[in-house]
Structure 1
Amino acid sequence: MSQKINFKMNTLKLVLLGVLGFLVLAVVVGFAVLQNVKTSAVPDYNESLKLEGLSEPVSIFRDEHAIPHIYAENEADLYRAVGFAMAQDRLWQMDLLRRVTQGRLSEILGKDQLETDLMMRALRIQQKSEKILASSSPEIVAALEAYSDGINQYIRKYPLPPEFKILQYEPEMWEPVHCINLIGYMSWDLSMGWGTEYYLHQLRAEVSDEKIAELIPDLKNHKTAIYPEFGNIEIEAAETLLSATENLTELGAEIFNGSNNWAVAGKKSNTGKPLLANDMHLGLFAPGIWYQMHQVVEGKMNVTGLVVPGQPFVICGHNDSIAWGMTNVMVDDLDFYAEKLNEDSTKYWFDGAWHDLNIKKETIKTKEGEEFEEELKFTHRGPMVNRFKKEKETPLSIRWLGNEMSNEIRTVFLLNRANNWSDFRSAVSTFKSVSQNVVYADVKGNIGLQCSAGVPIRAGSGIQIYPGDSSKYDWQGLVPFEELPYEFNPERGYVSSANNKTAPDDYPYYISHWFATPSRIDRIREMLEEKEKLGIDDVKAMHSDWKSKTAEQMTNVFVESLQKQPDFNETEQAAFSKLKSWDYNLTRESQAASIFEILYRKSMENLVKDELSPELFQGMLGQKMLLENLMINLLAEGQSQWTDNVMTDEKETFDDIIVQSFRETVTDLTTQLGTDVEQWKWGSIHTITLKHPLGVVSVLDKALKLNRGPFEVPGSFHTVCPYSYSYKNLYETMHGASHRHIFSTANWDDSQTVIPTGTSGIPASDFYLDQTAKYLDNDYHPDLFSKQNVGNNARFEMQLKPE
């Protein structure tokens, strides 16, 4: 019997050892496979490679952050190398953005993306890109072809990033038109009317026109204009003066949101030459939207700055002679039209006759292997959009600036080569669909700011849904470039913009209602005026400024109302004391910042919540601009129809709203952080996590370390240093400065920069998010420019040689 037991025990041990061995082998194999997936596409930046099509060797130096500095003998070699280097670092991001513009996300992400794909196809981005490509100069076409070839050589010969393996597909070859598509997508992401104007249309079912009018910005209450004295001032700086002294959100595909830029003249600069600053406020995700790059054709072109992965030219940056940066103009560049259709919805009524709708069949393939046949319908203005807005009653079409002819790719190509103000203005004259206020500084001492925008000439306010049955409300073209506002060497010694009101009220054309409130621009100009002369450290302090003009104004209003209340409990009294003694700086450590942010939001919400259905109230939370302007208009007028709570028999005042909101604020913070007000630090609830598009899958996130964070952050959407969040997603930062640049025209090597993420889009790379810590600490790294400086600080050197 004992022998049998021993035999069974030994057999069991053998089986268990065999199973264990198999599990260990599986783990080892699995680990090896995982490591291969993670690391196989991480490039060796010191490796010398051969590239077909090169006529001369190309050197790629990379600094401590692996930012490429590419030196070539001619432009064809340069852009071929640019494409190759960018594919090394950002290939999957490039393919993702390309698929967004083509409406082809369903093929890799599944049929849940069908509506997104159909919407993007309705915008006809690639059709416009093809027209632009056909009309582009031979030099631009040659550059795009060389760039595309560099990408394609990488695709054919080298390991693909892990996302391709995870999603089990391979990228198609890159084409020049795809570069231009990315410019078109920026135009859509900038569009101001798509969400707000349709929401106002929905609101009319529940709210009177008088109350809706209080939500719409009254620009007379926006006192600060970007071009306050627009009168075409031109004074060339003389050399003698110089010596004296800028569901797609979840995919990381959302681009522009807000921005700051400014330039100070030599007379206000410690260097005696202009300083230029830019931080564009975009979606914050990993990998980030910008790719830092330095491109040199020796003796012909030397330009550095930010490139969008998928196109080769520097969007914002500087060359030997000039620097430039951008902010969104906030143009009202999209209009809705209520159309009259015939019974079978194949024709629309226009100017007394029926016209055929342009009906286009679309086939959308999905990852699941299914194919969906869909129809898109177009009037002469643009696509019918009912299914995308879930509008069942009124047939709606849109006219959108992105479908108007423009040539942004020409603009950035020429900006990279511009030598002076005249070259600069000629270049930006075709920057229409991506409407920007472009700041300028040059080595001769000049500064300027140019509104480069497609401003539609139309009848009406631009806000309402227009009747579509006649040509009365059709656009009559765009405002000529020569009539757009600009400033050149103003006497004050600086120019600045922050998405605020563009021009004074007497400007003859309607630009928009949808400007940012004046909070950021007022604080920027306050800091610009604080000192007679400014240096690089002063500009850094401006970039990292968390003092809010909105908080300064509103806190005084709140305190005045709250000090009338005698019955605060102990926690409420402690919270009120913090608010009263606050300096309006939204630091991570500030308790008053937490109290203010919640009180400000709740005061606006409690003004409107009682009069809206749950669905429209949720919609309002996505329209922060309307809530902010309701508050601005209320304070300017001293009263509002929104203050009375229609759910009670009392006649409430704004004081009542504030007290109610304050008590709710204290309750919220007590629930979340406890009764000790000292623990109510803003950074405890206000955070940022840099998320990868595939990081929503927990297993992938943990295995590949896709997401990073959460990190505690200061500021808010109304501070110069913005860490913005949606009222639908409290208080998780989604937008902020996508880069910070400070350009010194006195010595380009003194320039400073940082981005929130890093050069590489490959999560296993040391350079995936290696700039994040600097960014969060408001630190910078040198923006290397001279060849000697680049060479002395090079950590890697790659030679690309002709095959």
Structure 2
Amino acid sequence: MNASLRVAGAVACAALVVAATVAGGSFLGLAAPLSGDAFESVAQEPAVGAERVESPYGHATVRYDEAGVPHVSAENEEALYYAVGYVQARDRLFQMDLQRRLVGGNLSAAFGERAVESDRFYRKMDFQAAAEASWAELRDTDAGPALEAYSAGVNRYIDAGERPPEFALLGYEPTRWEPTDTLLVGKLIAWRLSGNFADLRRATVRARLGPEATAELYPDAMAHDVPIVRGASDAAPFDPATAAGVAASAAANDSGSAAAGGANASGDFAAVYDAVAPFETKRVVGSNNWVLSGEATESGKPVLANDPHLSLTVPGVWYEMHTAVGESVDARGVTFPGIPFVIIGRTADVAWGVTNVGGDFTDEYTYETRDGQYLYDGEYRDFETTQETIPVADAPDVTVTVRKTVHGPVVERGGRTVGVAWPGFSATNESLGVYRLNRAESMADVRSALRIWDVPAQNFVAATRAGETLYYPAGRYPLRVTDGEVVRGDRIFDGSAGEGEWPGYTPYGTSSWSGFVPYASIPHVDDPAVLATANQRTVDDPPFYVGTSATYSEPYRGARIYEMLDARASDGATVADVLAVQRDVRSRAGVAYADIARDATGDLSPDARELAATLESWDGEMRADSRGALVARLFRDEFRAATFEDEFADAGLDAAYYPNPYVTQTLPADSRWFDDRETAATETRGDVAREALERTADRIDRRGYETYGDLNRLDLNHPFDREFLGWPERPMDGSAFTVSNFRGGEGEQFGSSWRMVVAFGETPAEDTARGVIPGGQSGVFWSDHYHDQLDEWAAGEYKPLTLSSPGGDPDIVFESGGAAA
């Protein structure tokens, strides 16, 4: 390809890189302006490696099964992870490279100036330094040699294997893979799941709508009775004040209190929030998991299920693999490309699954500043400042000033200087935790892994063949200290006054975690009979602040899962029952909003009357061929807009600030929010329902929708947005609020990114284990495994998830010899 084509490709591709990465969608959201002829200049052969590869670590074999899943077996762990690095690069190298570029702030070097804002954010947060701090902690642990061997395997493929075609089409080469790159990918995933700026959002709403309205629309807790832990927790009691060491903390920070006076931590943060909101956790990201003990199953053995809901991308976010070393490792499940260990999956005798806790793990701080310094602990201090250069393809390089305080990195917009604290900026051990899970033989091994789990805080469910079950929301929960008292974290803190300190936290260094919640005191349940998580709040009355309605998910999915599991457990749930729950598409949200529509007051147009009648007879199922599902989905959107748009527009707040659907649904019928300020009458919920039905009718007419599948469509495209590269498009069942989770159409593609069910038998041969990903194992678009699981996934089907390797000769043999790459 000539230079002009490379330049054109890089610039145009960059236009959508940023749009995708900052919108919480695919980090692969690139658009290729190249003609079909450009693809002909790239050798169209699968990106395969040699059948025999020298390994400095010893013998290993790889056998791909019929779904393209590598079964990797080795004589020792380093040989295993060398081979894993090689095959992941073989199947997903471009995706791996793009992820580390994104979080490391290096997209612009490949894609040009359109990616600069994304790079600027990630450079300012300095995830690279956080990854380096974690590596300094991990390299001398059991996981260290595995990460080094994995990196060497990736580099072996970079040196000897065929490049994925994207590199040639964009005109750049991948750089060497380092252990810190794996940890960077881990930081990216952790940030996507736990990094949010809800406090900035809440502070802006409070400044513009007032404290009373903020408390009403963004309550501490949503009014529902289905937390994850429905009974007593098995957490050890503790005193938050004692754990936080508040006496020492208060003494250290008293001198700063008078100087800033707290005033700097209030007010409007819209400019800062607008700058960082594109990079925070999205509410549409969620997951389900549950565990049933033998008491609740027909077989008398545990059953575990998990389906994480993430952005759906091409290639998919997960990579499935089976890894084995003698009797020490036998793990199968999925990982993120770039990470060598199974993150969700099973061993011979243990299974585990995760969902996001959804708590408040990010705090913001303001400062009194002068002459380039900030006030803290009674004195003005220099910001820790570095100048970094962002290389920009086909444009001048960009210099970025990275500033940090004692709390963490700094964001500056609209005259505000805001520091950010997040546990993941410190050295963290989740990679070692996953390493241990891959070797788990008992629940004691699971607990050993979770005890050191730092970030992101995750709802773990686990089960063993021996019959044990466990729920543990493992992670680091900060205790905030202000003036000698432990306080909530749902506000902007005055950093100059020493408010909201996290004792034991050291950003970009080694934290003691001394002022965080002790592991044993995190609410958990030992041996639950039935326990399910769907990102709803952990427990009704936690002994410490965890989060609010702004960070937890609505209870719709959690309530529906418990409803179905309780009914089935009473007679002994079967594997078929569990699969049916995972594929359920009844929407509690849809039914609730249909009830609101039935109460519409006043005259309706003929079209709106027809929609009301449709909802009256609708069965509550979000199925592609249902008109009722279409009306329910759109009515909910229009009802929220008709309720809040006048007040929020007057306050300069757009739809991104609207309260969540559950809070909106549960407002009293005569709530002041239903009144239209532009009329003399006082409107109620029924009036807004009428207006929303009319708007829904107009929207359906304008868009030409007939059934839900016209809107809710799977439409996933390759990074180079060419029709022949995209996956087959189709209408889909499910919604954001159904257990079988899919939300598509009008720019959205979110859903179940992996579905897994593991039911233990008396022996491994009697296990029932199934899984499926949306798409395929390979990121190379002419591979047989590019999207060969998509039909199964879309239809709610599964493939076997056994620990048996395919027979026959290996596809790749790693032989002793050579040096680490």
Mapped pair 1:686 → 2:712: yes
Report which stretch shifted further, 254-263 or 774-783.
254-263
- Judged with a 3 Å threshold, the aligned counterparts in structure 2 of structure 1 residues 225 and 795 are, in CA distance, closer, same or farther, namely farther
| Partner-residue secondary structure (3-state), 1:151 | helix
Name the residue aligned to 2:510: none
- Residue by residue over 1:666-700, the C-alpha shift from the partner in whole angstroms, topping out at 9 and shown as x without a partner, is 12112322xxxxx72100111121133332xxxxx
Mapped pair 1:290 → 2:328: no
Distance (Å, rounded) in 2 between the aligned partners of 1:249 and 1:786:
45
Distance (Å, rounded) in 1 between the aligned partners of 2:792 and 2:282:
23
Kindly report structure 1 stretches of 4+ aligned residues shifted beyond 4 Å.
30-33, 247-256, 614-617
| Partner-residue secondary structure (3-state), 1:221 | coil
Name the residue aligned to 2:587: 548
Mapped pair 1:736 → 2:762: no
Name the residue aligned to 1:103: 105
Name the residue aligned to 1:596: 632
The partner residue of 1:519 within 556, 560, 573 is 556
Quote how far apart the aligned CAs of 1:202 are: 2.9
- Judged with a 3 Å threshold, the aligned counterparts in structure 2 of structure 1 residues 615 and 738 are, in CA distance, closer, same or farther, namely farther
- 1:115-264 correspondence to structure 2 within 5 Å: 115-136=117-138, 137-191=140-194, 193-194=196-197, 196-219=198-221, 221-232=223-234, 257-264=285-292
- 1:405-554 correspondence to structure 2 within 5 Å: 405-458=427-480, 459-476=486-503, 477-490=515-528, 493-513=529-549, 514-531=551-568, 532-554=571-593
Q: Is the 8 A contact 2:38 2:169 kept in 1?
A: no
| Partner-residue secondary structure (3-state), 1:153 | helix
Report which stretch shifted further, 216-225 or 289-298.
216-225
Q: Is the 8 A contact 2:107 2:119 kept in 1?
A: yes
Counterpart residue identity of residue 691, structure 2:
Q
Q: Is the 8 A contact 2:55 2:79 kept in 1?
A: no
Name the residue aligned to 1:90: 92
Q: Give ranges in structure 2 of 5+ residues lacking alignment.
A: 1-34, 237-274, 481-485, 504-514
Distance (Å, rounded) in 2 between the aligned partners of 1:323 and 1:185:
25
| Partner-residue secondary structure (3-state), 1:509 | coil
- Residue by residue over 1:441-481, the C-alpha shift from the partner in whole angstroms, topping out at 9 and shown as x without a partner, is 00101111111022111144322222222113222332111
Counterpart residue identity of residue 468, structure 2:
N
Q: Is the 8 A contact 2:220 2:548 kept in 1?
A: no
Kindly name which structure, 1 or 2, has the bigger radius of gyration based on alpha carbons: 1
The partner residue of 2:660 within 609, 627, 639 is 627
The partner residue of 1:277 within 305, 321, 326 is 305
Mapped pair 1:572 → 2:608: yes
Mapped pair 1:339 → 2:367: yes
Counterpart residue identity of residue 800, structure 1:
F
Distance (Å, rounded) in 1 between the aligned partners of 2:500 and 2:290:
36
- Judged with a 3 Å threshold, the aligned counterparts in structure 2 of structure 1 residues 417 and 498 are, in CA distance, closer, same or farther, namely same
Quote how far apart the aligned CAs of 1:488 are: 1.6
Report which stretch shifted further, 132-141 or 679-688.
132-141
Quote how far apart the aligned CAs of 1:646 are: 1.5
Q: Is the 8 A contact 2:489 2:545 kept in 1?
A: no
Counterpart residue identity of residue 463, structure 2:
A
Quote how far apart the aligned CAs of 1:350 are: 1.8
Mapped pair 1:323 → 2:360: no
Name the residue aligned to 2:39: 34
Q: Is the 8 A contact 1:437 1:497 kept in 2?
A: yes
Q: Is the 8 A contact 1:252 1:285 kept in 2?
A: no
Quote how far apart the aligned CAs of 1:537 are: 1.9
- Residue by residue over 1:388-410, the C-alpha shift from the partner in whole angstroms, topping out at 9 and shown as x without a partner, is xxx31332222122213421011
Q: Is the 8 A contact 1:65 1:767 kept in 2?
A: yes
Q: Is the 8 A contact 1:222 1:501 kept in 2?
A: no
- Judged with a 3 Å threshold, the aligned counterparts in structure 2 of structure 1 residues 253 and 350 are, in CA distance, closer, same or farther, namely closer
Quote how far apart the aligned CAs of 1:70 are: 0.8
Mapped pair 1:719 → 2:738: yes
Counterpart residue identity of residue 416, structure 1:
N
The partner residue of 1:606 within 642, 645, 649 is 642
Distance (Å, rounded) in 1 between the aligned partners of 2:37 and 2:65:
31
Give TM-score scaled by structure 2 length.
Answer: 0.84
| Partner-residue secondary structure (3-state), 1:406 | coil
Distance (Å, rounded) in 2 between the aligned partners of 1:142 and 1:275:
34
Q: Is the 8 A contact 2:229 2:538 kept in 1?
A: yes
Distance (Å, rounded) in 2 between the aligned partners of 1:589 and 1:708:
21
Quote how far apart the aligned CAs of 1:639 are: 4.1
Query: Taking every aligned residue pair, what percent have the same amino acid on both sides?
Result: 29
Distance (Å, rounded) in 2 between the aligned partners of 1:556 and 1:745:
41
Quote how far apart the aligned CAs of 1:536 are: 2.1
| Partner-residue secondary structure (3-state), 1:206 | helix
Name the residue aligned to 1:9: none
Mapped pair 1:349 → 2:367: no
| Partner-residue secondary structure (3-state), 1:600 | helix
| Partner-residue secondary structure (3-state), 1:540 | helix
Counterpart residue identity of residue 42, structure 1:
A
Name the residue aligned to 1:26: none
Aligned residues: 722
Distance (Å, rounded) in 2 between the aligned partners of 1:642 and 1:251:
30
- Judged with a 3 Å threshold, the aligned counterparts in structure 2 of structure 1 residues 506 and 763 are, in CA distance, closer, same or farther, namely closer
| Partner-residue secondary structure (3-state), 1:642 | helix
Name the residue aligned to 1:662: 693
Quote how far apart the aligned CAs of 1:320 are: 1.3
| Partner-residue secondary structure (3-state), 2:459 | strand
Quote how far apart the aligned CAs of 1:218 are: 4.0
Q: Is the 8 A contact 2:109 2:393 kept in 1?
A: yes
Distance (Å, rounded) in 1 between the aligned partners of 2:653 and 2:617:
33
| Partner-residue secondary structure (3-state), 1:479 | coil
| Partner-residue secondary structure (3-state), 2:561 | helix
Counterpart residue identity of residue 579, structure 2:
K
Distance (Å, rounded) in 2 between the aligned partners of 1:596 and 1:310:
40
Q: Is the 8 A contact 2:472 2:524 kept in 1?
A: yes
Counterpart residue identity of residue 801, structure 1:
E
Report which stretch shifted further, 76-85 or 109-118.
109-118
Counterpart residue identity of residue 375, structure 2:
W
Give TM-score scaled by structure 1 length.
Answer: 0.85
Name the residue aligned to 1:782: 800
Quote how far apart the aligned CAs of 1:228 are: 2.2
Q: Is the 8 A contact 1:61 1:70 kept in 2?
A: yes
- Judged with a 3 Å threshold, the aligned counterparts in structure 2 of structure 1 residues 182 and 712 are, in CA distance, closer, same or farther, namely same
Distance (Å, rounded) in 2 between the aligned partners of 1:336 and 1:421:
37
Distance (Å, rounded) in 1 between the aligned partners of 2:363 and 2:279:
27
- Judged with a 3 Å threshold, the aligned counterparts in structure 2 of structure 1 residues 501 and 93 are, in CA distance, closer, same or farther, namely same
Q: Is the 8 A contact 2:86 2:156 kept in 1?
A: yes
- Judged with a 3 Å threshold, the aligned counterparts in structure 2 of structure 1 residues 770 and 153 are, in CA distance, closer, same or farther, namely same
| Partner-residue secondary structure (3-state), 1:648 | coil
- Judged with a 3 Å threshold, the aligned counterparts in structure 2 of structure 1 residues 122 and 536 are, in CA distance, closer, same or farther, namely same
Mapped pair 1:797 → 2:811: yes
Distance (Å, rounded) in 2 between the aligned partners of 1:762 and 1:353:
56
Q: Is the 8 A contact 2:711 2:746 kept in 1?
A: yes
